Amino acid sequence: MVMEIIKFSELIGQEIVEVRFRYTPETSEEYSVQSCYTYIKLANDMIIDIPNFGDEDYLHLTPENRDYFQKNFNNGTAISETSRQFLAGQKIVDFFFSYYDNEPEFDYSAWIKLSNNYYLTEKTHAPMGIYVGFQILSEHEFLKEKERLKKMQVEIHSFLEGKDGR
């Protein structure tokens, strides 16, 4: 089995070609929630998702998870043309991750900063009636969200600067 390790540092500068998402609605089970995951195809034909934590080793690619990403991308729903205009052709500039008490905060997906100064993120799970799916934030909206989370003691740090801000 051939395994390749994809590193976040290798994703910086990669161009986004296409974005799709997979939505799974809530079921009739007692504690069911709706979910949505975003898949990003890069110019080098690699397909990634939006991660939750910022270890340098982003993904250990095996044939099984490579197939998983490809299948989810192929069966995903295309984003709207309006959203596509913000994402297609943009390069990944940085990743921003959430920390609570210096530990990764898994409730929040990363924010991917793009070359046009917009940020791509997602909300993966929620009860019915609460939005799930990808979001595109302006720099101003991202900074407002960062301040909102700071009030809840959740710190947002750049991958390139390190979680300690260095």
What's the pTM?
Answer: 0.91
Q: Which one-letter DSSP state was computed for residue 120?
A: E
Burial class (CB in 10 A: 0-12, 13-18, 19+), 44: exposed
pLDDT at residue number 3: 62
In the chain, where are the structural domains located? Answer: 4-158
No. of helices (H) and no. of strands (E), the chain = 4, 13
HSE, side-chain direction, 13 A CA sphere, residue 140: 0
Mind listing the pLDDT tens digit for each residue in 37-79? 999 999 999 999 999 888 888 888 888 988 999 999 999 999 9
Cα pseudo-dihedral 136, 109, 44, 77, rounded to 10? -60
What SS3 state is found at 47? strand
